[in-house]
Amino acid sequence: MKEETKKILEKYNQQHILEYLKLLTEEEKNELEKQILTIDFEQLKELYESTKRQPKIEEKKIEHIPYIDKEKISNSTKQELEKIGRKIISSGAYAVLTMAGGQGTRLGHIGPKGSYAINTKNGTKYLFEIIIDTLKRAKEKYGVTIPWYIMTSKENNNETLEFLEEHNYFGYDKTKVTLFLQGELPLVNIEGKIILDKEKKIKEAANGNGGIYKAVKNSGLLDEMKRDGIEWIFISNVDNILSNFVDPILLGLTIKENNKIAAKSVAKNDPYEKAGVFCKMNNKVKVIEYIDLPSEMAEQRDENGELVYGELNISTYLYNRSIFEELAEFKLPYHAAFKKSAYLETTGKIIEPDEPNIYKFEAFIFDTFVKYNNITILRVKREDEFAPVKNRTGVDSPETAIKLYNEFYKED
C-alpha cells in the first residue's frame, strides 16, 4: 500500500485496516487501496461525530401547510388541469422514476424488492410488473411510451437488471427503461472505524433515497433527460402498489401554481399514525417525522375537525427537471441508524453480531424541500393511491396492500 494511502488512514484514525493486509492477495490489496481512495473520510468523520452530538435545539416555527384536496376540485377546474397535464404527457416530456435502491430489510425478501411477488385478483404479480402495468395503461391513454428510470444500488443493480431481462421487461419497450446507480457510504462501528466485509472490501451501503439528486446528475441521467426533452419527472417508491404516477391533474395543478415540486398526501388516519407529515417550518416546506411532532400539535384539529398537521407524506413527488442541477449540490442532512452488520475480523473470521454494532448513514429525498417556501400539495384518497408493502406482516404488509389493490381494481 502506498505511503500516501497509509497517511490517509492514519489521519482519520483508520490504521486498523493495515492489519488486514496479511489476509489479502496482491489483487485484493490493490482493490482495497482503490476503494480507500474513493472514500471521503472528512465527510465520514463528520457523520460519525454527529452521532455523538445532541441535536441542536433550533427556534422552530411549525405551521400548517396549504394543500388542495383532489376530491374537492370542481369538475371544470379538473378538466382545465387535466388538459394542461395531458398535453405535456402526450408530448413525451414526462418521465417516471422509481426509487428501488433500498434493502427492504423489513419485508425480508431475498433480492430486489421489485422482484417480490404478491397474489392479486389479477394473478401473481411482481412489484416491478405492477409498475409496468400502470405504464402500459398510460401508453394506451396518452399514446406515448413513458421513459422509466429505476434507481438501484450496488447491492441490487445486477439482480434488478437480470430480473427485468428475464421477464422481458413485462412487455414494455426496454429501450425506454434506464437503470442508474445511487451512491454509497461506508458503515462505521461505535468507535467510528470502517469495517471489512467477507469479500475483504470496505463495507458500504446505499446512502438513502436522498442520494437520488447526486445520482441523477453523476450517472448521466440528467443529460439523458435533457437530450430526450423530459421536463417533468414523477418519483415514487418501488413498494406502493397503488402509486398513481401518471397524473395529469397533479401536473396541471403544479404548473398552475407555478411550482417546481409537488407532492401527494393522504389524510392521516389518526394523530399518532407512524409517518411523516408535510408542514411549514420557519416558512419553508418540511416533512416532520411523527416522533418530532409534539402531541398537542399531532392532535390539533381545525374548525372542520380535520387534523391541522394531517398531510401524510406518501413518498410520491413530481419534479421539474430544471431544478435537479441545483438539488444535486444541496447539502442534505444525514440520519444515522444503528444496525447489525456482519464484519471480518483481523483473524479472517466473519463475526455475526447479536446486537447493533454499526452506524449506517442515510439522506432522505424530502429534506431538500426546505429550500422552498412552497410546493404543490395534492391530497388524494388513500384507498386510491396508497398501498405500501413494507413489513412482512401487520400494517403496510403484503396482506393489507393486496386487499387495497383488489378493491381498487375490483371492476377489472
Residue ranges binding ligand UTP (CB under 6 A)? 99-106, 113, 151, 153, 182, 206, 208-209, 211, 237-239, 390
> Which position's Cβ is nearest ligand UTP?
102
Least CB distance to ligand UTP at residue 390 (A): 6
Least CB distance to ligand UTP at residue 197 (A): 17
Q: Of 85 and 104, which has the nearer Cβ to ligand UTP?
A: 104
Least CB distance to ligand UTP at residue 182 (A): 6
Between the alpha carbon of residue 269 and those of residues 252, 303, 370, 372, the distances in Å are 28, 18, 25, 27
Q: Of 20 and 213, which has the nearer Cβ to ligand UTP?
A: 213
Q: Of 70 and 360, which has the nearer Cβ to ligand UTP?
A: 360
Q: Of 76 and 105, which has the nearer Cβ to ligand UTP?
A: 105
- Which of 28, 6, 26, 27 minimizes the C-alpha distance to 17? 6
Q: Of 208 and 310, which has the nearer Cβ to ligand UTP?
A: 208
Identify whether the C-beta of residue 107 lies closer than 8 Å to the C-beta of residue 231.
no
Q: Of 208 and 276, which has the nearer Cβ to ligand UTP?
A: 208
Least CB distance to ligand UTP at residue 363 (A): 8
Q: Of 38 and 91, which has the nearer Cβ to ligand UTP?
A: 38
Task: Give the start-end residues of each E strand in 187-248.
Answer: 188-189, 204-206, 232-237
What are 258's three cell numbers? 407555478
Least CB distance to ligand UTP at residue 394 (A): 13
328 burial class (0-12, 13-18, 19+ CB within 10 angstroms)? middle
Indicate the residue type of 361: F
335 bridge partner residues? 362
Least CB distance to ligand UTP at residue 153 (A): 6
Q: Of 106 and 217, which has the nearer Cβ to ligand UTP?
A: 106
Least CB distance to ligand UTP at residue 97 (A): 10
Contacts 24+ apart (CB under 8 A), 277-280: 277/309, 277/310, 277/311, 277/312, 277/313, 278/65, 278/67, 278/311, 278/313, 278/377, 279/62, 279/63, 279/64, 279/65, 279/309, 279/311, 280/62, 280/63, 280/64, 280/65
Cell 439482480 locates to 159
Between the alpha carbon of residue 80 and those of residues 75, 175, 209, 232, the distances in Å are 9, 33, 34, 18
Least CB distance to ligand UTP at residue 211 (A): 6
